[in-house]
Amino acid sequence: MMSKLGVFDVSVRYGKVPALTDVTLHLEEGERVFISGPNGAGKSSLLGAISGAVATTHGRIEMDGHLLTGRAPEAIARLGLSMVPEGREIFGSLTVSENLRVGTGLRRDRGAVEGDIEEIFEAFPILGERRHASAGALSGGQQQMLAIGRALMTNPKLMMVDEPSLGLAPKIVDQVYDTLVQLQEERGLTLLIVEQSSTRAARVGGRMILLRGGSVVGDGDAAAFAEKDLLSEAYFGQSKAQPKKEAAQ
């Protein structure tokens, strides 16, 4: 069977610095997969390569049988891929509601846009309250919600979320993941999430792929990784997979 997303032997380099080397991985339809690994492992570069924002130097990426490699980001978005980037990258000079509309230009069902915006406001009531406020004035957690809502407004089939927990209080992170899981169930989304904490990933549930030094070094149930990390933490005082982040949470 053809998988939802196929990454075959993909390499990325920035000048002479290799960020990814011959990475191969597959996602099935409706799956929830976490990408984990230390800072600089190449997690964001992988998402960049899939979304078309970062050029690959080798290999090929396919979604639903369409070749993504070499396509422009806007063309890939049209195929049903949406991205919540690291650091959220919301449009601070636009209002909350304008942010949600930026990604609706590619939709054929323009009539459904208003209803979908209201749905986002139901999922994130705080965004509804501040719909006319400048997005730059939102708190970090609200910006994360806006970035997720904005990505959903393109009506994606595959959504990628890069470190949703970055810089957020644990309670807000819980809320963000609850919403992501709920939205995935409602919409049958396939989710690819960068998450450094294996315990967090295990609690949410799903498969986990471990990157290190630009290569895949592990692939399995998130719970198994979390257990291993807890063990190594007990032995070495710190988990190998997530050096500092875990302690902070």
Ligand X SMILES: Nc1ncnc2c1ncn2[C@@H]1O[C@H](COP(=O)(O)OP(=O)(O)O)[C@@H](O)[C@H]1O
Binding site for Mg ion (CB under 5 A): 43-44, 86
d(CA 4, CA 243): 31
Strand order in the sheet with 17-27: 17-27, 5-14, 58-63, 66-67
Which are the contacts of 55, defined by CB distance < 8 A and separation ≥ 6? 12, 49
Q: With both helix axes pointing from N to C terminus, report the angle between 140-152 and 113-123 in degrees, rounded to the nearest 10.
A: 150
Contact flag: residue 233 with other proteins (CB under 8 A): no
d(CA 174, CA 204): 9
Of the two residues 40 and 128, which places its CB atom closer to ligand X in the complex? 40
> Contact between 42 and ligand X (CB under 6 A)?
yes
Q: Is 93 exposed, middle or buried (0-12, 13-18, 19+ CB in 10 A)?
A: exposed
Report if residue 70 touches ligand X, rule: CB under 6 A.
Answer: no
Residue 59 contacts other proteins per CB under 8 A: no
Query: Interface with other proteins includes 109 (CB under 8 A)?
Result: no
Q: Which of these ranges, 39-47, 139-147, 223-231, 239-247, lies near ligand X under the rule CB under 6 A? A: 39-47
Question: Rounded CA gap, 138 and 90, in Å?
Answer: 10
- Give the one residue of 44, 69, 143, 154 binding other proteins; rule: CB under 8 A: 154
Question: Segment contacting ligand X (CB under 6 A): 34-42, 71-79, 118-126, 201-209?
Answer: 34-42
Work out which of 66, 67, 70, 93 binds other proteins, going by CB under 8 A: 93
Least spacing, CB of residue 211 vs ligand X, in Å: 7
Is residue 43 near ligand X by the rule CB under 6 A?
yes
Tell me the torsion sign for CA atoms 69, 77, 151, 185: negative
In angstroms, the CA 152 to CA 145 distance is 11
Whichever of 151 and 201 has its CB closer to other proteins, that residue is 151
**From the CB of 83, what's the least distance to ligand X, in Å?**
13
Q: How many helices (H) and strands (E) does the chain have?
A: 10, 10
d(CA 38, CA 235): 19
Closer CB to other proteins, 151 or 193, in the complex:
151
Does residue 44 interact with other proteins by CB under 8 A? no
Q: How far apart are CA 42 and CA 38, in angstroms?
A: 9
What would the two tokens of residue 216 be?
A: 């895949």
Among 36, 44, 45, 51, binds other proteins (CB under 8 A): 51
Query: Quick check: helix, strand or coil at residue 29?
Result: coil
Write down the least CB distance from residue 151 to other proteins, Å.
8
CB nearer to ligand X: pick between 42 and 103: 42
The residue ranges that bind other proteins (CB under 8 A) are 51-53, 72-74, 77-78, 82-83, 85, 89, 91-94, 98, 101-103, 105-106, 150-151, 154
